[in-house]
Chains A and B, each alone.
Chain A
Amino acid sequence: MHLLILGANSDTAHAVAGKFAQNEGAHLYLASRDLKVLAKKAGDLEIRYRVKAEPRFFDATDYASHGAFYRGLNPPPDGVVLAFGYLGDQQRAQEDFEEAKKIIDTNFLGAMSILEIVAADFSRRGHGFIIAISSVAGERGRQSNYIYGAAKGALSIYLGGLRQRLSPKGVRVLTVLPGFIRTKMTEHLDLPARLMATPEEAAQDVYQAYRRGKEIIYTKWFWKWIMLIIKALPEKIFKRAKL
């Protein structure tokens, strides 16, 4: 199996890459911007799991480069894990449109741009799977991160449509909705320890969902129930909540 990991420098992506290397012996294309760190991570995966891991430069917001980037993968991948994301700063995004735009560009437009290219290829080959990491933040708008949430919400809706389109072609789409994962993205937030997953736990959930052919998963599992309640709250009450 050849697996393309987009945003391979993220902690969760590295852990997911490890799962596929360990269990599937996957040949990895690791794509991200910081090639120096990426080279180190590729070496780590190669030694630990005795697989091949190739670092590739990829910039999610340089849409024009995506076609050439994908054509450069030889052989083309059998699966894609989309793991890049940009949390940004809600407060700053409210005041500075550039920050808001960067959040939408990275999390939504960047994802859509590359996934359309992947979808066209997988659809033509009648083969492949897409695993995309969205977020529970996209399930309902909250004052503390609604711009990021809007981008992830758009991504989740996009993935739903993509799944419907590709399903008859034998191409699977798995939407991953993580709650809090202990990564560089969340390090400086004061989050409740009991709700945190480690990247390894999240990766295990993702891999298991892939094996079982799931469409949508929450990680950790209890977020499904938390979000069920949050989504069920009437707007009249929700608008007064401090979330």
Chain B
Amino acid sequence: MHLTGWGRYPRIQAQGSSFETPEQLHKYLQDPEDVIVHAQGRSYGDSALNDRVIFTRRFDKVLHFDPEAGLLTCESGFTLAELLQAFLPRGWFLPVTPGTKFITIGGAIASDIHGKNHHRAGCFSEYVDSLDLLLPQGEVVRVSPQENRPLFLATCGGMGLTGVILRATLRLQPVKSALIRETVIRCANLEEVFHLFEENRAVTYSVAWIDCLAPQGQLGRSLLMLGEHAETGRLHRAAAKTISIPLELPSFCLNRYAIKLFNQLYYQKQAHPVAGRLMPLDDFFFPLDKIGHWNRMYGRRGFTQYQLALPKEASFAGLKEILSRLAAAGMGSFLGVLKLLGRENDNYLSFPLEGYTLAVDLKIQKNLFPFLDELDRIVLDHGGRLYLTKDVRMSGETFRRGYPRWEQFVELREKKGFRVKYNSLQSKRLGV
């Protein structure tokens, strides 16, 4: 069958199998070829691609829920959308919320995802009490921050390269409402948005939409969105209206002029500041989930997301340089997202480090990859790194310089026999 990541690039021919019990999965793993889990296919690049893949969509059952403590045990194919449907009405919400609810718990752990509250709450793994991993010989081990700690540190953010995540126990956060109280502030340039991020550190959720094609004097022009869980309101969500993009759009639709115009209009739409407006939580956290298959917008050749993190002290200079390069090259994006990150955790390959992260979607086009190689150098020179979950093209060298604990990761993979069993196109490209 055809298989791609969310960026629809690359497209490969692959064989896949699903399972309902660990025994069935173990049988499939006895084939000598290597495999990787492909759950909802929402990582952008090639991290969930291989000639042989494992589908977790039928391994998605809820196993236990403690309504007093908000402790949930489920199989790895359970999605965040299903979690919200079942538990939000009971007053329990995700401790960390990514940009889409169409991912699985297993994927959230493998990418050690972060959300708009990273500066206060950290990554998803903070809320994982324990998880079960299937090792190559069919052995199932329990890992947690206390038990088999190295394997836990490698697995959270480990891109599925340390065994198949079977089950996990998570701590949910209690909420009183399915609404978010949102404030939107217009920022004229990068300095202003940085200043406001810091000033609003105490706010639970913060993220900025950034206009990557703003003219030189207005570099970093953005809208900062701040949110808090509302204290009142219903816990039930109204059914969201969705539309779907039925076909791939011709890729010339997304040219620089269209993007520039869109960004201009979007920025001006917020001429009047918004303070404390109540909005459905789905609209605040998952605006793009309302557009089915939005990845088809980028046309036949697909797209990639370039997401980088820079340490705090180098963030301003680094981002300024990167934004100027993007603007000069006319490589704009509908979705430029800027976010303040909190403290780095101990996991070997988790992406966030204390500072700022920028993410831009870029259509696959001629000269894109050489251009991104140039950006890589800027990122590395400023002590930053790229997010593996979005990546489809970085070099092994870029990876190793960005993730200083890579050696511990590779060593563990070697020792446990993971390198012969669990691989993705990405892991082969990076040499991990």
- Interface on A for B, CB 8 Å cutoff? 11, 36-37, 40-41, 43-44, 47-49, 182, 184, 187, 190, 193
| B64 close to A190 (CB less than 8 A) | no
Apart from A41-B61, A44-B62, A44-B63: 20 A-B pairs, beta carbons within 8 A: A11-B58, A37-B21, A40-B61, A40-B63, A43-B61, A43-B62, A43-B63, A47-B62, A47-B64, A47-B65, A48-B62, A48-B85, A49-B86, A184-B18, A184-B58, A187-B16, A187-B17, A190-B1, A193-B1, A193-B2
Leading 3 A-B pairs by shortest Cβ distance: A44-B61, A48-B86, A47-B62
A190 to B14 CA separation, bound complex (whole angstroms): 12
Give the shortest distance, in Å, between B66 (CB) and chain A (any CB). Answer: 10
A48 to B90 CA separation, bound complex (whole angstroms): 11
B192 touches A (CB below 8 Å): no
A217 to B20 CA separation, bound complex (whole angstroms): 29
A49 to B82 CA separation, bound complex (whole angstroms): 11
User: Interface code B41-65, partner A: CB below 8 Å = 1, 0 otherwise?
Assistant: 0000000000000000110011111
Give the shortest distance, in Å, between A231 (CB) and chain B (any CB). Answer: 27
A182 to B58 CA separation, bound complex (whole angstroms): 10
Give the shortest distance, in Å, between B10 (CB) and chain A (any CB). Answer: 17
Q: For residue A40, which residues in chain B have a CB less than 8 angstroms away from its CB?
A: 61, 63
Residue of A nearest to B17 (CB): A187
A44 to B85 CA separation, bound complex (whole angstroms): 13
Residue of A nearest to B61 (CB): A44
A11 to B57 CA separation, bound complex (whole angstroms): 10
User: Interface code B74-94, partner A: CB below 8 Å = 1, 0 otherwise?
Assistant: 000000001001100000000
From 1 to 57 in chain B, residues with beta carbon under 8 angstroms from any chain A beta carbon are: 1-2, 16-18, 20-21, 57
Q: For residue B20, which residues in chain A have a CB less than 8 angstroms away from its CB?
A: 37, 184
Residue of A nearest to B21 (CB): A37
Give the shortest distance, in Å, between A181 (CB) and chain B (any CB). Answer: 12
Give the shortest distance, in Å, between A75 (CB) and chain B (any CB). Answer: 27
Residue of B nearest to A42 (CB): B61
A49 to B90 CA separation, bound complex (whole angstroms): 11
Q: For residue B18, which residues in chain A have a CB less than 8 angstroms away from its CB?
A: 184, 187
A41 to B82 CA separation, bound complex (whole angstroms): 15
A39 to B92 CA separation, bound complex (whole angstroms): 25
Q: For residue A43, which residues in chain B have a CB less than 8 angstroms away from its CB?
A: 61-64
Residue of A nearest to B78 (CB): A44
Give the shortest distance, in Å, between B73 (CB) and chain A (any CB). Answer: 10
A37 to B61 CA separation, bound complex (whole angstroms): 10
Give the shortest distance, in Å, between A93 (CB) and chain B (any CB). Answer: 23
A198 to B190 CA separation, bound complex (whole angstroms): 45
Give the shortest distance, in Å, between A17 (CB) and chain B (any CB). Answer: 12
Q: For residue B86, which residues in chain A have a CB less than 8 angstroms away from its CB?
A: 47-49
A48 to B58 CA separation, bound complex (whole angstroms): 16
Q: For residue A48, which residues in chain B have a CB less than 8 angstroms away from its CB?
A: 62, 82, 85-86
22 A-B residue pairs with Cβ-Cβ distance under 8 Å, sorted by A, are: A36-B21, A37-B21, A40-B63, A41-B61, A43-B61, A43-B62, A43-B63, A44-B61, A44-B62, A44-B63, A47-B63, A47-B64, A47-B65, A47-B86, A48-B82, A48-B86, A182-B57, A187-B17, A187-B18, A190-B1, A193-B1, A193-B2
A37 to B64 CA separation, bound complex (whole angstroms): 15
Q: For residue A36, which residues in chain B have a CB less than 8 angstroms away from its CB?
A: 21
A83 to B61 CA separation, bound complex (whole angstroms): 19
Q: For residue A11, which residues in chain B have a CB less than 8 angstroms away from its CB?
A: 58
Residue of A nearest to B83 (CB): A48
Q: For residue B61, which residues in chain A have a CB less than 8 angstroms away from its CB?
A: 40-41, 43-44
Q: For residue B63, which residues in chain A have a CB less than 8 angstroms away from its CB?
A: 40, 43-44, 47
Q: For residue A184, which residues in chain B have a CB less than 8 angstroms away from its CB?
A: 18, 20, 58
Residue of A nearest to B72 (CB): A47
Give the shortest distance, in Å, between A120 (CB) and chain B (any CB). Answer: 34
Give the shortest distance, in Å, between B366 (CB) and chain A (any CB). Answer: 29
Q: For residue A41, which residues in chain B have a CB less than 8 angstroms away from its CB?
A: 61
Give the shortest distance, in Å, between A117 (CB) and chain B (any CB). Answer: 29
A36 to B57 CA separation, bound complex (whole angstroms): 19
A135 to B2 CA separation, bound complex (whole angstroms): 26
Give the shortest distance, in Å, between B207 (CB) and chain A (any CB). Answer: 30
Residue of B nearest to A200 (CB): B82
Residue of A nearest to B73 (CB): A47
Residue of A nearest to B60 (CB): A44
A150 to B62 CA separation, bound complex (whole angstroms): 38
